[in-house]
Amino acid sequence: MNKLKNIVVTENDKISKALKVINLNSLGACFVVDHNNTLKGVLTDGDIRRGLIKRYSLNDSVINFLNKKCFYLNFKCNKSTIAKSFNNKIRLIPLVDKKKKLISYVTDKSKISLAKPVLDGNEFKYLNECINTGWISSTGKFVKIFEKKFSNFTKIKHCLAVSSGTTALQLALKTLNIKYGDEVIVPNLTFASPVNAVIHSGAKPVFVDVNENTYCIDETLIEKKITKKTKAIIVVHLYGHPSNMTRILNIAKKRKIKIIEDCAEALGSYYRKKHVGRFGDVSTFSFFGNKLITTGEGGMICFKSKIHRDKAEILRDHGMSKNLKYWHEEIGFNFRLTNLQSAIGCAQMERIKWFIKNKLYLVKNYNSKLSKLDFLTLPGEYGPVNNSYWLYTIKLNKDLSKYKNRIIKELNFYGIEARQIFFPMSLMRPYKKYLNKNDKFPVSLKLFNHSISLPSAYDVKKSDISKIYEYLSKFKNTFIIQKKYL
Ligand SMILES: Cc1ncc(COP(=O)(O)O)c(C=O)c1O
């Protein structure tokens, strides 16, 4: 049973107080009681919104807003009664005594998740082996096995396991000798990690806008940003969609600059039938808990050239010589992945085909339902690509961006974990000083304003997608009819 902190207001309180309480509890609702703690009703943020639109103000009493028809249960009722009572409308139930005094409440917390790991293969068995043998640091057989399995799957020859997708990027820049005074081209719409890595290397990030369909760097804008100082382009295959590698490779070849592929979100994605990561001089992957496969924290760095791979292996391990212990050939890092994490990685790699198949099945189900909603643009495959759809990310059409936050909030209230996409880098304070005077990023901004990532976890069922579809259709009726959309 839940405690009543931050969920109760009295019938004498103003609606502004109720809003504060709702804001604190993140449940989208609160209970109204009288001076005897007798339940008077449930007040949702929807009730408040409707009340404010009608005629009331923030100084009016909660009673004016109250939906008095309120569902409640006796606090002694059994669990199955509670479970049966939850439905699309009822997700928060007050529990009362015989005199209707509020005792507690229950909420249906079974979320439809954005992403979550599946660890029911050999993960436990392999972890046990590490513990039983004592090989828990970064020496131990699983590190090499994990690298080999990864290499076999992606067909990238030289793979090194590292502690995260971020350290993989830092190591990539260091291996390519990128340093203070250099410039590196990066997309303006990305998770911040590649940009932070550039800044930590001492180089300057140069931002380029993205393509409206793929969410990836707009290759037609890259050349204008190349200067004598440009040493590399980091392409990010965002949300699983590969960047246009043919054109980017042509530019790199012509201008003699290096390519780093950030494939953190694109394991299982292909460009011209080749796995992403096989095109650049270096490529990086992440195994954070929300990725296609996970090791908890972890990453992989992959190289075309053996010379680069050997250099990175030394840098990963404090810069120490392979032949002479404690002899440092480089100023290195400790970016190693542990045997424990690699053990999980090995078990995950055994099921990688299942993970990809599962994602594609999810996408098929989403597409067949959501294609009926003509106010949405669904994610797709633009160019000679196979997208592994890390997160199923939809776009609101036309001028519907003003509803984005409300839709996300309401979906979350109903246990559907929806999320906005990454903020464009150009909007955030730490990165503003790297912007050039006339920089404008209209597409990143437009995508940010219109996009919503929907639940993409492996356990999202067909029935969950039907539920998501129902809610989204409801938004069309409630919000959109009011406006000029139709
Ligand atoms: C595009 C991108 N690059 C890099 C990273 C960083 O990976 P990690 O979290 O493993 O450091 C992430 C996210 O996790 C990402 O989404």
How confident is the model over 387-400, as pLDDT tens digits? 999 999 999 998 88
Cβ-based burial of 401 (10 A; exposed 0-12, middle 13-18, buried ≥19)? middle
- DSSP string for 27-77: SSEEEEE-TT-BEEEEEEHHHHHHHHHHT--TTSBGGGG-B-----EETT-
Q: What is the DSSP letter of 242?
A: P
What confidence tier does 486 reach under pLDDT thresholds 50, 70, 90? Answer: very low
Domain count of the chain?
Answer: 3
Q: Would the pTM of this model clear 0.85, i.e. be above it? A: no
pLDDT given for residue 67 in this prediction: 78
2 near 52, Cβ under 8 Å? no
Does residue 1 belong to any structural domain of this protein? no
Is 60 exceeded by the pLDDT of residue 195? yes
CA 272 to chain centre: 26
What length is written for the chain? 486
- Pocket lining for ligand 1, CB < 6 angstroms: 164-166, 190-191, 193-194, 236, 262, 264-265, 286, 288, 299
Instruction: Please tell me the distance between residue 460's alpha carbon and the centre of ligand 1 in angstroms.
Output: 23
Report the distance separating Cα 149 and Cα 336, nearest Å: 17
Residue 115 lies in a domain: no
Domain final residue, candidates 305, 326, 350: 350
CATH number at residue 306: 3.40.640.10
Q: How far is it, in rounded angstroms, from Cα 110 to Cα 169?
A: 36
Q: What is the rounded average pLDDT for all residues in the chain?
A: 94
Write the DSSP assignment of 167-213 as a string of letters.
HHHHHHHHHTT--TT-EEEEESSS-SHHHHHHHHHTPEEEEE-B-TT
Of 350, 385, 408, which one is at a domain's C-terminal end? 350
* Ligand 1: nearest atom to the Cα of 168: 11
Kindly tell me the burial class for residue 279, based on how many C-beta atoms sit within 10 Å of its own C-beta (0-12, 13-18, 19 or more). buried
> 251 and 322 in one domain?
yes
pLDDT, position 480: 56
Quick check: is 330 in a domain?
yes
Question: How far apart, in whole angstroms, are the C-alpha atoms of residue 257 and residue 243?
Answer: 17
The edge-to-edge listing of strands for the beta sheet with 73-74 is 73-74, 92-96, 102-107
State whether 181 and 327 are in the same domain.
yes
Among 79, 107, 135, residue at a domain's last position:
107
Q: β-strands 230-236, 183-187: how paired?
A: parallel
Residue 52 pLDDT greater than 80, yes or no? yes
d(CA 63, CA 67): 9
**CATH number, domain at 15?**
3.10.580.10
Q: Walk across the sheet containing 183-187 and list its strands.
A: 158-162, 299-303, 282-286, 258-262, 230-236, 183-187, 204-208
Nearest CA to ligand 1 atom 10: 165
Closest approach atom of ligand 1 to CA 290: 14
Confidence (pLDDT) at 483: 56
Position 193 in a domain: yes
296 and 167 in one domain? yes
Other C-beta atoms closer than 10 Å to the C-beta of 258 total 21
> Virtual CA dihedral for 55, 58, 61, 64, nearest 10 degrees?
30
Does some domain include residue 114? no
The boundaries of the domain holding residue 439 are 352-480
Ligand 1 atom nearest 167 alpha carbon: 11
**97 alpha carbon – ligand 1 mean position (Å):** 50
Q: How much distance in Å is there from the Cα of 287 to the middle of ligand 1?
A: 8
Give dist(CA 464, CA 408) in Å, integer: 16
pLDDT, position 135: 97
Question: pLDDT (tens digit, 9 = 90+) per residue, 343-387?
Answer: 999 999 999 999 999 999 999 999 999 999 999 999 999 999 999
Residue 210's DSSP bridge partners are: 217
- pLDDT given for residue 68 in this prediction: 72
Could you tell me if residue 117 is inside a domain?
Answer: no
Per residue in 419-472, pLDDT tens?
A: 999 999 999 999 999 999 899 999 999 999 999 999 999 999 998 999 999 989
Query: Please, what's the largest Cα pairwise distance for the chain?
Result: 81
Q: Alpha-carbon distance 440 to 189, whole Å?
A: 12
Does 346 lie in the same domain as 251?
A: yes
Mean pLDDT in residue range 212-229: 98
The candidate with the shortest Cα–Cα distance to 199, out of 433, 428, 424, is 433
46 pLDDT above the threshold of 90: no
Which of ligand 1's atoms lies nearest the C-alpha of 299? 10
pLDDT, average across residues 175-201: 98
Strand partners, 307: none
261 and 368 co-located in one domain: no
Q: Give residue 189's Cα distance to chain centre.
A: 13
Summarize pLDDT for 114-133 with one digit per residue, the tens. 999 999 999 999 999 999 99
Distance 16 CA to ligand 1 centre (A): 40
Residue 412 pLDDT > 70: yes
